[in-house]
Amino acid sequence: MHDESVTILARAREPGYEVVLRQRRRDGQTIDELVINGSCAMDSGSTVSETALADTVGDNPGKVLVGGLGLGYTAARLLELGAALVDIIEVSPALVAWARDDLVQPAGRLARDDRVTIQAGDVVKLLLHQPVLPGVFGPWDAIVLDIDNGPDYLIRPGNAAIYRLAGIRSALGHLTPGGRLALWSQGPSKDLWFDLLSLDPDATEQLIVVDRSNRRIDYAIYSLRRLD
């Protein structure tokens, strides 16, 4: 018999979805969970895909744009890798506020780090050349995006454009020459993969296997470089 309890740390309604930050205690272990529309989007018990996304851009990645704050594990890993500056754009104002209120780690530490800026906004609009965030300027040496479930499992339909060929090409335009773009996806996407290869023959697809609640999940991380 397991000793388990769940505490709701914060809850907010955003346009089109609900976001909840909760803490689960089970058999002496504490797990932070980010829940979107009733489904666990990520938790502190299994962060391998979030850190793998950061690892894709390599050591000392320079100035990095991160689309999607989450619980903060991707951005925290980028700092460990030696990133000089990290700009985080998160579409949920609630998540930004909870980081600044220090409700969950490592997001709370990121909000206090002088190398990091965190702003609420739509990174897709920014990358599609629709300026919406005064004070956020590229180009960046790397861009990492964990903003939705991927092209085939969208939570926000407005994110679809960033997974299309024109959107990817536009995102690459915000990179320094040779800079790397990395995208997280809930699962493999053949169409996305073929589009990336058309832009960079050395693009990569990395599958990350995670066991969550006795269920195997095959996440995918895609990356490519700006070649022009």
Question: Could you read off the pLDDT tens digit of each residue along the chain, which spans 228 residues?
Answer: 566 899 999 999 988 889 999 999 877 789 999 999 888 888 998 899 999 999 999 999 999 999 999 999 999 999 999 999 999 999 999 999 999 999 999 999 999 999 999 999 999 999 998 877 877 889 999 999 999 888 988 888 889 999 999 999 999 999 999 999 999 999 999 999 999 999 999 999 999 988 766 778 889 999 999 998
Q: Give the count of beta carbons closer than 10 Å to the beta carbon of residue 158.
A: 14
Q: Selecting from 1.10.760.10, 3.40.50.150, 3.30.43.10, 3.40.50.720, what CATH number does the domain 46-225 have?
A: 3.40.50.150
Q: Judging by beta carbons within 10 Å of its beta carbon (0-12, 13-18, 19+), is residue 3 exposed, middle or buried?
A: exposed
pLDDT at 212: 67
pLDDT at 209: 87
pLDDT at 129: 86
Tokens (6 digits) for 107: 């997001």
Q: How far is CA 108 from CA 98, 151, 176, in A?
A: 8, 29, 29
Rounded to the nearest 5°, which phi and psi values hold at 26?
Answer: -140, 120
pLDDT at 27: 76
pLDDT at 22: 95
pLDDT at 139: 96
pLDDT at 112: 97
Block residue for tokens 């996440």: 219
